[in-house]
Amino acid sequence: MTHVDTKIQQYIEPGRRVHLCGIGGVSMSPLAEVLHKMGLTVQGSDMSDSAAVRHLRELGIPVTAGHSAEAVAGAEFVIRTAAVRDSNPEIAAAREQGIPVFERAEAWGAIMQQYENAVCIAGTHGKTTTTSMTTHIFMAARTDPTVMLGGTLPMLHSGYRVGRGDTIILESCEYRNSFLYFFPTVAVILNVEEDHLDFFKDLDDIKASFRRFAELVPEGGHIVASADDPGAMDALKGLPLFTFGCSEGADCQAKNLTWEHGRPSFDIVIQGEVYAHLSLRVAGRHNLLNALAAASAAYVLGIPSKAVKLGLEGFFGAGRRFEQKGSYNGAQIFDDYAHHPAELHALLEMTRSLGYKRVICAFQPHTYTRTKALFHDFIRELRTADLAVLTDIYAARETNTVGISSMDLAREIPGCLYCPTLEEAAETLMKTARPGDLILTVGAGDIYLVGEDMVRRARESAPVQP
C-alpha cells in the first residue's frame, strides 16, 4: 500500500520558514516545538491566547492573535489543523500567493520517517489512554521517546514530549483519513466502529480506511490488533497480525484475572509464556484491553517485561479520562472525555462496579452528525445511568444541518433532566448531589467546566478552619 501523496518532505528542512495556522491546538503546538528544534523557522497564529501559545512564545516562536492574510507573509509553506477550512483568510492568502498548504498529519508523517520505530495507535476509541500507557512503558524502559497525544498525560505535564531516542509514539486519528499520511512501523488498532459519519460513508468505509492504515506497515514491522473486536478482525482479515485480548487464541492474553474495586490484576501471557504480572491502578475492562495493547506494542519492539510492569503500574490515567475533580455535598465528581456510545458503555459499566449509591451522568453530546447517526446507541447507554443530565450539543466544527438537539435524546431517557447551558447543568447537579453519589461530567467539549465550577463553589462555601 502506498501512502497518500504529499510533497511536504522536501520542506521539512532546517532553515525553512513555516507558518502554522491554529498553532495552539493539541497536536499543533507540539508540532511547532518539534519543527523549531529541528532548525526550521516557525511562526503561527491562533484564535486564543492559551498556555500552549504562551509556551511557544517563550521558546521564541512568534504567534499572532486571530487569523489574517498578512500572517502568512514570508512563509515558504503553511501547515493547518484539521479544523481550519479553505475559507480561512490565511489559507486563502497562501493559495493566492502560491504558498503550499499542508495538513497537520502530513507534517507528522514526514517527521516520523526520521525515527527507527514509529508506534502509531489507532482505533475508534481508547487511543489517548493506550498512547499514554505506551508512553509510560517506553519511559520506564528509558528509551527517551518522542510522544504526541490527544490529551494531557500527568507524567509529561502536557500532551507531548520531544525525546532524543529512536522511537516516536503517536495517537493516530482516522478522521478525514489523517493517519494515512503516517509511516507506522508498529500499527496498533484497538477497535473499528461507526464514527465520524460526517466524513465516512458507513462502517465498511471506515474498515477500509483502517485496513489501508495497517497496510502502511513495512516488511519487518508489526500490526497489533484486538482479537476481541469484531470490526478490527473483519477489517484486517488476511493480514499478518499480532493480536491481543481476552479471546482464546490471541497472541497476548490476560490470564489469572481478578478484580478489586473495578481494577484488574492479571498475568500478561504472550504465546503461552508469562510476560509480566500487573495490578492496574485504573478500572474497567476497557483499560485491561488498553494495557494489553500497550504491552503488545512494547513486546514486539523488544521492551523488557520489567519496564511494562513498572510503566503500567505507575499509570493513574490521562487527563479527562475518568479524572477525579473533587467533591460537592459528599458526592464525588469525575470527568471523562467519552463521546461515542462504546466509550459511554465502558465508562458506565466500570463505574457501576465501584460501589456508589447512584451514578449521575451529565453528558454533553459532541457534534450534530454523531448524535444523529448514533442516536439510539446513545439512548441505550444513557438509560443505564441512575440519572442522566443532558446539555446542548457541542457543535465543534459543525452547524446543525441535520435538525437534532439534546432535547430529542432527553425525551427517550426516563427521568432525564435537560439543561441547555453549562450553568443550568451545574445548578441542577448541585441541587441533586448527595453523599454516596458519583457525578460524571462526560463529553469531548467543555462539559468539564461544570465539575470544576461545582468543586470551586464547594471550596468557597467551606467553613474557614480556625
Summarised one tens digit per residue, pLDDT across range 83-104 is: 788 999 999 999 999 999 999 9
| Global confidence as pTM | 0.86
Report the alpha-carbon distance of residue 101 to residue 292 in Å, rounded.
Answer: 39
Domain assignment present for 318: no
Domain limits at 212?
Answer: 115-313
Residue 2 lies in a domain: no
Cell matching residue 352: 457501576
DSSP state of 87: T
Q: Is the pLDDT score of 463 beyond 80?
A: no
Q: What pLDDT digit, counting tens, does each position of 122-135 carry? A: 999 999 999 999 99
37 is catalytic: no
127 flagged as catalytic: yes
Q: Are residues 328 and 449 in the same domain?
A: yes
DSSP labels for 168-179? EEEE---GGGGG
Query: Which of 71, 106, 141 is the last residue before a domain boundary?
Result: 106
Q: Are residues 130 and 257 in the same domain?
A: yes
11 band by pLDDT with thresholds 50, 70 and 90: very high
Length of the chain: 466
- 439 and 391 in a common domain: yes
The answer as to whether 430 is a domain residue is yes
Using CA atoms, how far residue 164 sits from 38, 145, 167, 300, 308, in Å, is 12, 7, 8, 21, 21
Rounded-to-integer distance, Cα 67 and Cα 84, Å = 10
CA–CA separation, 159 vs 179, rounded Å? 18
Catalytic annotation, pick one of 81, 124, 128, 130: 128
Domain count, the chain: 3
Per-residue model confidence (pLDDT) at position 2: 53
361 pairs with which residues across the strands?
388, 440
**215-219: Cβ within 8 A, 24+ apart:** 215/1, 215/239, 216/1, 216/3, 216/180, 216/182, 216/183, 216/184, 216/187, 217/184, 217/185, 217/186, 217/187, 218/185
d(CA 240, CA 224): 9
Using CA atoms, how far residue 266 sits from 173, 277, 295, 313, in Å, is 30, 6, 13, 12
> Does 3 reside within a domain?
no
337 and 212 within one domain: no
The reply to whether 414 and 446 lie within a common domain is yes
Shared domain for 347 and 243, answered yes or no, is: no
CA-to-CA separations, 150 to 83, 214, 306, 311, 352, in angstroms, rounded: 14, 20, 27, 19, 27
My answer on whether 304 and 335 are in the same domain is no
d(CA 353, CA 343): 16
2 is catalytic: no
- The pLDDT of residue 466 is 58
Percent share of the chain, pLDDT over 70: 98
Phi, psi of 441 (to 5 degrees): -100, 125
Could you tell me if 136 and 260 lie in one domain? yes
Three-state secondary structure of 276-289: EEEECCCCCHHHHH
* 368: CATH: 3.90.190.20
Residues 375 and 440 in one domain: yes
Candidates 50, 304, 297; CA nearest to 158 is: 50
How many Å apart are CA 17 and CA 37, to the nearest integer? Answer: 13
Task: Look at the block and give the residue holding cell 519492539.
Answer: 301
Burial of 316 (0-12, 13-18, 19+ CB in 10 A): middle
pLDDT (mean) for 321-344: 95
The answer to whether residue 44 is domain-embedded is yes
CA atoms of 124 and 338, how far apart (whole Å) = 11
Give the tens place of pLDDT for each residue, 197-207: 999 999 999 99
Residue 328 and residue 200 share a domain: no
Does residue 427 or residue 83 have the better pLDDT? 427
Q: Checking DSSP bridges between strand 252-260 and strand 263-270, what pairing results, if any?
A: antiparallel
* CATH number, residue 180: 3.40.1190.10
What local confidence, expressed as pLDDT, does residue 3 receive?
60
Judge whether 154 lies within some domain. yes
Q: Which is the catalytic residue, given 90, 103, 171, 194?
A: 171
| Domain assignment present for 51 | yes
Query: Who contacts 418 (Cβ-Cβ below 8 Å, separation ≥6)?
Result: 389, 390, 406, 407, 410
Please tell me whether residues 91 and 187 are part of one structural domain: no
Report the SS3 class of residue 230: helix
Beta-bridge mates of residue 213 = none
The residue annotated as part of the active site, out of 103, 127, 194, 343, is 127
Contacts made by residues 405-411, CB under 8 angstroms, sequence distance 24+: 406/365, 406/371, 408/375, 409/365, 409/371, 409/375, 409/378, 409/379, 409/382
**Which among 273, 288, 313 is the end of a domain?**
313
Please report, for residues 93, 101, 221, 248, 364, the alpha-carbon distance to residue 87 in angstroms, rounded to integers and kept in the order given: 10, 13, 40, 52, 28
- Say if 185 falls within a structural domain: yes
CATH no. for residue 69?
3.40.50.720
Q: How much is the mean pLDDT over the chain?
A: 94
Q: What percent of the chain has pLDDT over 90?
A: 86
Mean pLDDT to the nearest integer, 389-418: 95
Segment 161-187 shows an average pLDDT of: 94
Residue 239 binned pLDDT confidence (cut-offs 50, 70, 90): very high
Q: Are residues 328 and 304 in the same domain?
A: no
Residue 26 in this model has a pLDDT that exceeds 90: no
Among 67, 82, 106, the domain-final residue is 106
- Per-residue pLDDT tens over the stretch 36-76: 988 999 999 998 888 889 999 999 999 999 999 999 999 99
- Residue 318's pLDDT is 87
pLDDT over 90 at 397, yes or no:
no
Q: What is the DSSP string of 210-223?
A: HHHHHTTSPTT-EE
Q: Give the pLDDT confidence of 125-164 residue by residue, as tens digits.
A: 999 999 999 999 999 999 999 999 888 889 988 888 889 9
Element (H, E) at 78: strand 77-80
Q: Which range among 147-161, 170-184, 292-306, 442-456 shows the weakest confidence by mean pLDDT?
A: 147-161
